[in-house]
Amino acid sequence: MKIVLTAHADEAADLVAREILDALGDKPDLVLGLATGSTPIGVYQRLCDAVARGEASFARVRTFNLDEYLDLPAEHPRSYRTFMREHLFEGIDIPPGNVAFPPSEGGDLEARCGAYEERIREAGGIDIQLLGIGRNGHIGFNEPTSSLRSRTRIKTLTARTLEDNARFYADGESQPVLAATMGIGTILDARRILLQAIGAKKADAVRAMVEGPVSSFFPASMLQVHPLVTAFLDPEAASLLTMRDYYDETRRQELRLREERRL
Ligand code: PGA
């Protein structure tokens, strides 16, 4: 896993947005896997800004979101479809038919989760998957003990995840306990994975993901088996890593080789 220790959250968002925009420059029909939550908002803002400045177009891009709460209607203020509309889709020129979410309403969910996987395959697979990380190590809504080769399916959320996301719900408002999510296997099929972690409350999770053992009890640790994962961390999220000097040196060496055009 490549670790990028940034000076602050804005630098992490700048770097991730730059990676996506560069990839889009190379491949206008890029296939993106998208995440929700507080973490990717800065990246989405930068993508919207690039489109507003006429520097990028998402007209041929296809997107697949990681997860969605079960039974929240698309227009519900807390649905991830609303989140994505407000934070990204309204600000870029992507055709509505090019965005997809795992099935979270109606019946026949198992078959439709399989169809979601098929739709990703038909699009040619995900080129870049954006990820955040939950304090309990979840990626998407793959909670601890998720099968390390799981595919898109319905998951029950842990008490800890419900507590972490309670801030988005008013007192007394009911919070969904089920969600449709890409599996860990689905996520690992992406060609590249860009993960961001911001803030001291992610420090334990980052340490376990980067320096801990691979375990279904900490799903993000499975990213260690993927060949092209970059984790962009702010100083607080990186604060418990034991090999910070090495990660910095690794990045310096990589930048040097790139400058010399040897990579
Ligand atoms: P956050 O959530 O970006 O709101 O911290 C991340 C996650 O739970 O995956």
Residue 16 has a pLDDT of: 98
Q: Which residue has the tokens 């989405």?
A: 44
Give 55's contacts (C-beta < 8 A, 6+ positions apart). 21
Q: Is the CB of 132 under 6 A from ligand 1?
A: yes
Which of 90, 61, 84 lies closest to 72, judged by CA? 84
Specify whether 136 is catalytic.
yes
pLDDT along the chain (263 residues), means of 10: 98 98 98 97 98 98 98 95 98 98 97 98 98 98 98 97 90 91 98 98 98 98 98 98 98 96 95
Q: Say if domain 2-262 classifies as CATH 3.40.50.720.
A: no
Residue-wise pLDDT for 78-130, tens only, equals: 999 999 999 999 999 999 999 999 999 999 999 999 999 999 999 999 999 99
Reported as half-sphere exposure (CB side, CA atoms, 13 A), residue 71 has a value of 7
Position of tokens 């001291």?
200
49 annotated active-site = no
Which ligand 1 atom is at minimum distance from the Cα of 202?
5
Q: Is 20 in the pocket of ligand 1 (CB under 6 A)?
A: no
Q: How far apart are CA 141 and CA 147, in angstroms?
A: 12
Q: In terms of Cα–Cα distance, which of 21, 95, 22, 23 is closest to 59?
A: 95
Q: Which residues contact 250 (CB under 8 A, 6 or more apart)?
A: 2, 3
CA of 133 to the centre of ligand 1 (A): 6
Question: Given the structure tokens 């803030």, which residue do they identify?
Answer: 199
Residue closest via CA to ligand 1's atom 7 equals: 134
